[in-house]
Amino acid sequence: MINITPARIVSTMLLASLVTFSASVFNHENCSTIAYADSQFTPVQGKVIYVPSGTVFPATATMELSSESLQLGQSVCIALSQDFYYNNTLIAPIGSSVNGTVIRVKKAGKSGENGLLSVKFTNIITPYGQMIPMSGKIKTDDGSGIIKGTKKAATNTQDVAIASAAGAVAGTMAGSNPPAQKSPAKAAAYGAAVGSGVAMSNSILDKGNAALIPAGAVINIVLDQQITFTPQKR
């Protein structure tokens, strides 16, 4: 027969309680640590993509872009007519919109002054709704991003020559009636001077050409800042 004293019974119960309490504390702390680790090390979906400044990609004008109709600060939208890839990675698919704002515009004026147009592109929106921030401009030969109207200097010079010749002929035909009864030679010179004056007057009044990108034209866009974004799952 085992003899168990009250003191031994109490000691046994205290020991059992201590073990149970310790196990409970360990399990609680262990779960908290795992939960914290999970929250800190959850893998990020997708990957970060970088497209460097200077990268060029083509887009298509879906509307006419003209210095005669656009206003400063007006929104402009063109479209990707082919997939935009960089380093074999799809940045944006065909059909994505490339959106921008008119930052400079000047209408064509008199004296053959041509129009100017510049657009800053700020984002690409894909067909599945992701907006990719960007900063870019239209690629031009001088790197300014400014579209300029076609010069008309050669045409004006021709106009002057033609008008002078016409004036000379008219002056010769009217040789017997010019002021102070001028000789035919003097009459021709007089007519030429008049003709030149008329041509120059027309040149001064002649309006320059608009800066124009017709609808359907392919535009090369050049990035002036790096693109950094994480693609969305599709």
Domains of the chain: 49-149+209-229 (2.40.128.260), 153-205 (no CATH)
- How much is the CA Rg of the chain, to the nearest whole Å? 40
Least confident of 29-43, 130-144, 163-177, 214-228: 29-43
User: Which helix or strand (DSSP H or E) is residue 63 part of?
Assistant: none
- Angle at CA 145, nearest 5°, toward 144 and 149? 100
Confidence label for 206 from pLDDT (cuts 50, 70 and 90):
confident
Tell me which residue has tokens 């990020």: 44
3-state DSSP call for residue 180?
Answer: helix
Q: Are 65 and 212 in contact (CB under 8 A)?
A: yes
- Which one has a higher pLDDT value, 155 or 232? 232
Distance CA 155, CA 162 (A): 11
Distance CA 140, CA 65 (A): 15
* 117: pLDDT strictly greater than 50: yes
Confidence label for 225 from pLDDT (cuts 50, 70 and 90):
very high
Q: Where are the alpha helices (DSSP H) in the chain?
A: 6-40, 153-173, 184-205
How large is the average pLDDT for residues 111-136?
Answer: 94
